[in-house]
Structure 1
Amino acid sequence: MNLSFNVIEDDELGYCKELCNELMVFQKSKALIQPELFDGMNFETRLLPSVKKAKQNYVVVVKDGYIPVAYVYTNISPKETYSNEFATFFDLSSVSRNDVGCLSQFYIKEEYRQFGIGSKLFDMSMKWLNQYKEVDDYFIFVSNGNNDALEFYKRKGFTISHQILDGFITVLRSNRSNFLKEG
């Protein structure tokens, strides 16, 4: 393996298009509750709109040589972004500031799991979020059935807050102070 971790700009998002689409298929394959909701989810309907709505974006693509094998998408967005026609992801009044940090998408091709790529991408995302002192609340939204991801984030310091859409998504929450020692 010849892995490189590449922070990409918004105009380079095409590097993670295939990975994003694989993530949606993977999430559907794990889902026990309403898997059909993933049918309309892909790069164009999930990643691109989220990037456009966010105030700040951070995307890291991991390549093995020239081949993308993993990515993480983290953003800073107005808290109101998370109350829309799809769902209200958290009680807006529970967030003290105007903006929230969100580790929004995270995917590693199966054959590249268990090499520490996930931990490195997670740590990079938390370090990036920590530079925004005006953001205290961090969220991760895990699709139902993805218990490995849920346990990973819990080991990393996030706690389950609640479920939305009748259990379709589990909301995990943490705050900036939990990651200051690492940043």
Structure 2
Amino acid sequence: MELHYEVIPDHEIDVCRELCNELMKYQKAKAVIRPELFDSMNFDTRLVPSVHKAMHNYIVVVKDRNELVGYMYANISPKEVYRNDFATFFDMNSVQREAVGCLSQFYIKDEYRQFGVGSKLFSMCMNWLSSFDEVDDYFIFVSNGNDDALSFYQRKGFTISHEILDGFITVLHSKKVSENEHRTNF
């Protein structure tokens, strides 16, 4: 195994198409609440619009030699992006700043889990998100049935805020850690 991590520019997101579509299938297979909602979710309906609406994007792909085996997508977006026809993802009044950070998509092929890939991607994401002074709130939205992901993010310091769409999505939240604090669970 020869893993390497590569930050890619927005205009190269098409390399994530297959993995993003695998993520949507994975989430549907795990879902116990309204799995049919995933039928219309794919690279073109989830990743592309998110990249276009964001103020800043961070896309990291993981390769084993030349094969893509995982990716992570995070963004800094106006908080209003998270109020749309699908759902309102958090109480807009609870977020004081105009922008939020979000770990939006995170997927690693099964055979590459348990090798620290997730922790490495998560650490890269949080380091990137924390570099923005104008953002104090970070969110992760976990689809129902994905208990492994939920536990992973909780071990990394995120707490459950609430559920939306009758439990279809669990919202996890974390506040920016000040320079005087030290986050040891990355």
Provide the TM-score with structure 2 as the length reference. 0.96
Q: Tell me the equivalent position of 2:61.
A: 61
CA distance, structure 1, for counterparts of residue 174 and residue 152 of structure 2: 14
Mapping of 1:34-183 within 5 angstroms?
34-177=34-177, 181=182
Q: Tell me the equivalent position of 2:6.
A: 6
CA distance, structure 2, for counterparts of residue 178 and residue 66 of structure 1: 38
Identity of aligned residues (%): 67
CA distance, structure 1, for counterparts of residue 66 and residue 148 of structure 2: 28
4+ runs deviating over 6 angstroms: none
2:26 is paired with a residue whose SS is: helix
CA contact (8 A) 1:141 1:172 kept: yes
CA distance, structure 2, for counterparts of residue 89 and residue 178 of structure 1: 25
CA distance, structure 2, for counterparts of residue 61 and residue 122 of structure 1: 12
CA contact (8 A) 1:157 1:178 kept: no
CA distance, structure 1, for counterparts of residue 178 and residue 124 of structure 2: 15
CA distance, structure 1, for counterparts of residue 31 and residue 178 of structure 2: 30
Letter paired with 1:71? Y
Give ranges in structure 1 of 5+ residues lacking alignment.
none
Count of matched residue positions in the alignment of Structure 1 and Structure 2: 183
Give ranges in structure 2 of 5+ residues lacking alignment.
none
CA distance, structure 1, for counterparts of residue 85 and residue 169 of structure 2: 15
CA distance, structure 1, for counterparts of residue 170 and residue 130 of structure 2: 23
Distance 1:67 1:178, change over 3 A: farther
| Alpha-carbon distance, 1:177 to partner | 1.2
CA-based RMSD of the aligned residues comes to 1.3
Q: Residue deviations 1:108-141, cap 9 Å, x none?
A: 0000000000000000000001110110000000
CA distance, structure 1, for counterparts of residue 76 and residue 176 of structure 2: 13
CA distance, structure 2, for counterparts of residue 90 and residue 33 of structure 1: 20
